[in-house]
């Protein structure tokens, strides 16, 4: 075999290879760009691999320096990059390719991630920057159907830096007919960096999401398991002064369409996804943060959908079910579809525990002008007007925006007693949800309770076995002066409750009561009722507990759980003796150790001194008593979030 190879070397910093104004055409040559060298082309670069008879002519570009492809207004040449069939482009660490035109890997190899031994080099890396000042660019991968070597089209670092003055045309589009997605990085390296401009994974004309040749959605897939795998500054997106204003910042630096990223356990990742900047409703950038459970690492795919769901009616959020129904209106700036997958290529959605979703919504027309909750009892001018449940603003209320997962008007809000809401429609958190599709839908959005601002006096009740009794505890986030006290109710069927105890207001954030009138083997349901000077009531969630026949032995439970800055260790002992408590953090480091000398019976050990020294997070607790060891899990949360 005879190989014809042309080697072009620029050995000095600032050296350049000029091809002006014509296309740089590599037909069976080796172009070796050394470190610190520059190849500057006023036009595009095409790399081909040509087979002629018995001889093979390899089209190869080995890049350790800089290749800059620019548009030439005089000649009309585009700064495109085309990798032809079987041609090779090897990007090495610290190298960069600037593309002012379009990118098309047409069954060639662009090696950027991992290792590849060639010409004395091993490691792969480098930056591919889409940069232009005169309009949109396209991204396209064409590969044989049987191709499974993802190194042929997986890029290391992609930088979007399109500075076209017309912001509507400042984007890179994964075009119709592409049969491979944009894959970026590996588990430990690589980035998607937004400097200026966007990525469109949908057809810019029709908005068709299924524009791949195999009818699967086009996606950007980021492999690196690090929050820094995607850089968008600022994050979260800029909060506009009013909801009626479209910020220029929020028309730039995001993905319109699908983004799938490798999401480790117990982490919060941002997903800069949004709508079309030319949307007549001015939706622009939206941002969503997803936090997954600590034991459920998986891939998460997010896209923004401009669909606005219909208003619906429900009982007042976080309030007793016997209150009158109120109107809920989803904000008219769209929603997010958030789905879990087992890997980067699977199309079957997983069935796993749901996430906590934090949503950053901007311009809307069916909420308050500044996005802040209206005053209690005020005539908001919105559907439903004022709220008679809060007459004259006598109640302290500050929640009216709620994040939710809802697919149909008839479907109730997910876990309504676990209220996470906000005073501003810009930053709304909600979760964790029992599953990603808690209400048979993967869509998440923000709802405003127009005539039902949410009270901050939400109650959270827990019930745990405590020897021959059941220990009850309830948290009160805030306790205004007009609150008079609390009544406890008990049931054995979960429906018919009877009054069992009452306690006056004590100015506390944590109350407790021990129910001694219980029997083993019976499931008991409890609810606490808060009442105030104006005769209004609010009820907690329903908590349940059951005593086993072995409840007379050594037992322990944290109450309530999770804990914030106040709480108890409820310990039951069959006879007197010392109990040693040892706490370990998630890394196995011992963070606290105490010994309590207790008599026979049930004890409520105040944990506030220990909790004040612990950061929010998960801890393992070991309790030693007369040769027995109990293992408990302690979860401390931040009460201000």
CA neighbor of 274 nearest in space, from 314, 224, 325, 236:
236
Task: Please confirm whether the linkage preceding 166 is cis (ω < 30° from 0).
Answer: no
Q: Which helix H or strand E contains 465, and what residues bound it?
A: strand 460-466
CA neighbor of 79 nearest in space, from 124, 114, 121, 131:
131
Rg (CA), the chain: 31
The residue to which tokens 């349940």 are assigned: 544
What are 635's two structure tokens?
């979860």
The residue to which tokens 């109120």 are assigned: 326
Distance CA 167, CA 162 (A): 9
CA neighbor of 60 nearest in space, from 35, 37, 27:
27
What are 552's two structure tokens?
């007379």
Helices (runs of H) and strands (runs of E) counted in the chain: 1, 56
Distance CA 248, CA 244 (A): 13
Which residues are within 8 A (CB) of 550 and not within 5 positions of it... i.e. 6 or more apart? Answer: none
Q: What is the DSSP letter of 538?
A: E
**Residue 445 and residue 335 in contact, taking contact as beta carbons nearer than 8 Å:** yes
Distance CA 78, CA 89 (A): 19
CA neighbor of 361 nearest in space, from 337, 333, 330:
333
Query: What is the per-residue pLDDT across 232-263, written as a single tens digit (0 to 9) for each?
Result: 988 888 887 777 777 777 888 999 889 999 99
3-state secondary structure (DSSP) of residue 229: helix
CA neighbor of 285 nearest in space, from 371, 204, 359:
359
Q: Report how far apart the first and last C-alpha atoms of the chain are (Å, whole number).
A: 69
Residue 617's CB: how many other CB atoms inside 10 A? 15
- For strands 454-455 and 443-448, give the pairing: unpaired
Distance CA 498, CA 25 (A): 86
Task: Please confirm whether the linkage preceding 641 is cis (ω < 30° from 0).
Answer: no
3-state secondary structure (DSSP) of residue 220: strand
Which residues are within 8 A (CB) of 149 and not within 5 positions of it... i.e. 6 or more apart? Answer: none
Distance CA 210, CA 207 (A): 9
The residue to which tokens 């309030």 are assigned: 319
Q: What is the DSSP letter of 575?
A: S
The residue to which tokens 């002519």 are assigned: 57
Distance CA 61, CA 211 (A): 31
Parts of the chain with a pLDDT under 50: 1-22, 204-214, 317-323, 376-377, 379, 383-397, 407-419, 451-457, 551, 640-641
Instruction: Locate all alpha helices (DSSP H) within 78-219, ordered by sequence.
Output: none
- Res 159: pLDDT: 98
Distance CA 309, CA 329 (A): 8
What are 152's two structure tokens?
């042929």
Query: What is the per-residue pLDDT across 121-169, written as a single tens digit (0 to 9) for each?
Result: 999 999 999 998 888 999 999 988 788 888 899 999 999 999 998 888 8
What sign for the dihedral angle of Cα 448, 251, 184, 177?
positive
What are 129's two structure tokens?
């920057």
């Amino acid at each position: 075999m005879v190989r014809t190879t042309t080697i072009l070397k620029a050995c000095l910093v600032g050296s350049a290879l000029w091809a002006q104004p014509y296309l740089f055409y590599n037909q069976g040559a080796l172009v070796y760009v050394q470190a610190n060298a520059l190849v500057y082309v006023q036009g595009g670069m095409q790399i081909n691999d040509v087979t002629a008879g018995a001889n093979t002519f390899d089209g190869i570009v080995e890049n350790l320096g800089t290749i800059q492809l620019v548009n030439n207004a005089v000649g009309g040449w585009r700064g495109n990059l085309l990798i032809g069939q079987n041609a090779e482009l090897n990007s090495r660490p610290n190298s960069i390719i600037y593309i002012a035109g379009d990118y098309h890997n047409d069954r060639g190899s662009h090696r950027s991630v991992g290792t590849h031994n060639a010409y004395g080099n091993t490691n792969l890396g480098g930056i591919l920057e889409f940069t232009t000042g005169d309009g949109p660019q396209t991204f396209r991968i064409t590969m044989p159907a049987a191709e499974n070597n993802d190194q042929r089209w997986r890029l290391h670092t992609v930088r979007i830096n399109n500075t076209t003055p017309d912001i509507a045309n400042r984007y890179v589009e994964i075009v119709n007919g592409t049969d491979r997605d944009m894959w970026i990085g590996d588990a430990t390296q690589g980035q998607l960096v937004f400097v200026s401009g966007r990525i469109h994974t949908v057809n810019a004309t029709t908005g068709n999401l299924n524009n791949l040749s195999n009818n699967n959605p086009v996606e950007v897939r980021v492999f690196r398991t690090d929050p820094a795998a995607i850089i968008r500054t600022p994050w979260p997106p800029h909060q506009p002064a009013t909801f009626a204003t479209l910020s220029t910042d929020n028309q730039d630096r995001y993905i319109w369409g699908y983004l799938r990223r490798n999401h480790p356990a117990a982490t919060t990742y941002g997903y800069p996804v949004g709508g079309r900047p030319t949307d007549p409703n001015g939706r622009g950038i939206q941002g969503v943060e997803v936090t997954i459970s600590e034991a459920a690492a998986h891939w998460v795919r997010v896209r923004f959908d401009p669909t606005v769901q219909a208003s619906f009616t429900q009982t007042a959020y976080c309030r007793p079910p016997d209150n009158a129904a109120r109107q809920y209106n989803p904000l008219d700036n769209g929603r997010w579809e958030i789905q879990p997958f087992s890997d980067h290529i699977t199309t079957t959605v997983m069935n796993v525990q749901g996430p906590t979703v934090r949503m950053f919504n901007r311009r809307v027309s069916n909420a308050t002008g500044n996005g802040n909750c209206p005053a209690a009892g005020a005539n908001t001018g919105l559907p439903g007007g004022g709220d008679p449940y809060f007459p004259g603003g006598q109640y302290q209320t500050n929640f009216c925006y709620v994040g939710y997962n809802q697919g149909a008007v008839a479907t109730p809000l997910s876990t309504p007693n676990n209220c996470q809401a906000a005073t501003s429609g810009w930053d709304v958190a909600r979760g964790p949800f029992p599953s990603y599709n808690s209400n048979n839908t993967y869509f998440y959005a923000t709802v405003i309770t127009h005539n039902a601002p949410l009270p901050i006096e939400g109650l959270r009740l827990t019930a745990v076995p405590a020897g021959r009794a059941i220990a009850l505890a309830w948290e009160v986030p805030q306790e205004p002066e007009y609150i008079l006290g609390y009544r406890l109710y008990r049931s054995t069927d979960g429906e018919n409750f009877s009054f069992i105890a009452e306690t006056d207001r004590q100015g506390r954030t944590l109350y407790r009561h021990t129910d001694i009138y219980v029997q083993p083997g019976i499931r008991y349901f409890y609810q606490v009722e808060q009442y105030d000077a104006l005769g209004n009531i609010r009820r907690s969630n329903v908590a349940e507990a059951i005593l086993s026949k072995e409840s007379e032995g050594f037992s322990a439970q944290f109450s309530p759980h999770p804990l914030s800055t106040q709480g108890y260790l409820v310990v039951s002992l069959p006879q007197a003796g010392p109990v040693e408590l040892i706490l370990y953090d998630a890394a196995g480091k011992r963070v606290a150790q105490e010994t309590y000398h207790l008599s026979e019976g049930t004890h409520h050990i105040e944990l506030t001194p220990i909790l004040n020294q612990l950061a929010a997070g998960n801890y393992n607790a070991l309790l030693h008593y007369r040769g027995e060891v109990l293992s408990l899990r302690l979860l401390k949360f931040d009460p201000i979030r």
